[in-house]
Amino acid sequence: MASPTASLNLTGLALTPGAQRSWWLRQALAREGDPAPLPSLASHVNADVVIVGGGFTGLWTAYFLTEARPDLGVVILEQDICGGGPTGRNGGFASGWWDELDGLVTLYGPEAAVRACRAVSSSIDAIGRFCDDNSIDAWFRKAGYMYAITADAHERLSEEMVALAREVGAPDEMRELTPAEVRARCQSPAFRGGAFMRDGASVQPAYLARGLRKVLLERGVRIHEGTTVTGIDGGDRPLARAGGGSVRARHAVLAVNAWATGWPQLGRRLVAWSSYIVLTAPAPDRLKEVGWTGGELITDFRTSLRYFRTTPDGRIAFGGGGGRARRTIDDAFTHDARAVNEAAEGFRLMFPSFGDVPIEDAWGGPIDVSPTHLPAFGRIHGTKLYYALGYTGNGVAPTHVAGQVLADLVLERDTDTVRLPMVNPKPRMFPPQPFRSWGAAVVRRAMIAKETAEENGREPGFVVDQLARMPRRMGYLLGH
């Protein structure tokens, strides 16, 4: 094994994130023969449902709409290409919600919280079945999700998480791991004990998104890429306006994730934080050395979460650790070399034995952080506009739930899905701009500084500590 102080090889590529699409998406596009984007909208069309955004939320909504009503006229308008946003850039953690029980129980009570968790768990399995049924090799592997404790302060969090699952009657969903059990799954000098959630699957997210797009095209869904929607006129038949044309529909679905910060009706429900991922060269022998061959998803307990997973060819994709909060979705979400370095530093800390393994790629994207750390799905009161937002960096499995909810709401179907607690919940708001972005930026840096200090066995300074605690004091379910 290499010495723990060995330096990390960052290639030039990694230092210029945003200069290209994510590695996942480049692979997926290459597998399709690098097709041209679908033609942008260039005329006026009528439809039953217009969906703005070709990420997982928009794609699953179209999927469930056409599953229920194959005759429905569905149009998707995507400013980039389908999967070009966070959907094709995320870590590929399709993870359960048993680690969200604290917030769910606080907001909705134990019974509804468990229903919500079971819905997300079912979605994980359903994603696997969707891949099988449609012959989509998206590397779906359900190997569970391990939480690793990396600081004293996190021991209590781990215990509480496990205890809460027991209290709501779901002891099998989240269980404690001793330090030896953690080491048996993955050895890192940074890991102590931990917890294990059995509902967790890894996917290659861009393979999944592009596979979904293909299925929709086969079903006759019209998709226009390179089409930015500049506004939607509400009313009885919403009109989505884009540069070259417009779509008049009976219902409109806003599936724009962090870009909702720019939509007046929804903007105060989220702040956009960035997250970045670095990807190593294949190193299957090193993975064997640290015993990480089971395919588990792994995270630590930081609010500025570090998350990491392996790929079938023996790479590690390692995310988080830094990032910024911003007012608009700009280059800071894709071109932030400091955030890449912070992710790389986290990787070096956790996996010193990979010191000479090159990092081959890096990319980032926006995360739509909600005041509750949970998403909300619903209809804007008095309109035919529907939305799903606030995934807070955990959307791969929940977007599958959102797709079912939005389809059922549009079709006015009275199902268990529309009775989930995150459907049309009481709206929670952040302060108005500019305080929202300034506050989010300051608090984000304070949380990172506090957690880094704790990890290094230092006390965070008074001001940093107070700032990091501010969201909880203001009633938001963010931070510890």
Q: Is the Cα dihedral 75, 80, 82, 88 positive or negative?
A: negative
Query: What is the closest distance, in whole angstroms, from the C-beta atom of residue 361 to ligand FAD in the complex?
Result: 12
Look at phi and psi of residue 95 and say left if phi exceeds 0, alpha if psi is from -120 to 50, else beta.
beta
- Nearest in space to 259 (alpha carbons), one of 94, 117, 390, 451: 390
For CA atoms 143, 373, 405, 226, give the dihedral sign.
Answer: negative
| 467 binding ligand FAD? (CB under 6 A) | no
If one asks whether residue 56 binds ligand FAD (CB under 6 A), the answer comes out as yes
- HEC secondary structure over 188-200: CCCCCCEEEECCE
Q: Is 229 in the site for ligand FAD (CB under 6 A)?
A: yes
Q: Which residue is nearest to ligand FAD (CB)?
A: 395
Q: Shortest approach of ligand FAD to residue 364 CB, angstroms?
A: 5
40: left (phi over 0), alpha (psi -120 to 50) or beta: beta
Query: CB of residue 82 vs ligand FAD: minimum separation in angstroms?
Result: 7
- The verdict on 439 binding ligand FAD (CB under 6 A) reads no
- The token duo for 55 is 């990420």
Q: Is the dihedral of CA 363, 368, 372, 374 positive or negative?
A: negative
Near ligand FAD by CB under 6 A: residue from 17, 73, 92, 421 = 92
Regarding 247 and contact with ligand FAD (CB under 6 A), the answer is: no
The maximal CA–CA distance of the chain, rounded, in angstroms, is 66
Cβ proximity to ligand FAD: between 57 and 404 the closer is: 57
- Got the DSSP string for 51-96? EE--SHHHHHHHHHHHHH-TT--EEEE-SS-TT-SGGGTS--EEE-
Which alpha helices (H) appear in 227-294, and where do they start and end?
A: 284-289
CB of 202 to ligand FAD, least distance (A): 9
Shortest Å, Cβ 62 to ligand FAD: 11
Task: Please enumerate in sequence order all residues whose Cβ is within 8 A of that of 133, keeping only pairs 6 or more positions apart, or say none.
Answer: none
Is residue 165 a contact residue for ligand FAD (CB under 6 A)? Answer: no
Lay out the site mask for ligand FAD across 298-337 (x = CB under 6 A, - = otherwise): ---------x-----------x------------------
Answer yes or no whether residue 280 interacts with ligand FAD by CB under 6 A.
no
DSSP state of 352: G
- Under the criterion CB under 6 A, does residue 55 sit at the interface with ligand FAD? yes
Of the candidates 24, 145, 207, 259, which one interacts with ligand FAD according to CB under 6 A? 259
Any contact of residue 406 with ligand FAD (CB under 6 A)?
no
Stretch 354-373: interaction string toward ligand FAD, x if CB under 6 A: ----------xxxx------
C-alpha R_g of the chain? 21
**Binding marks (x or -) toward ligand FAD, 376..395, rule CB under 6 A?**
---------------x-xxx
- Beta strands 376-379 and 297-299, pairing class: unpaired
- Report if residue 123 touches ligand FAD, rule: CB under 6 A: no
> By the criterion CB under 6 A, which residues form the site for ligand FAD?
52-58, 77-80, 84-87, 89-93, 228-229, 255-257, 259, 275, 277, 307, 319, 364-367, 391, 393-396, 399
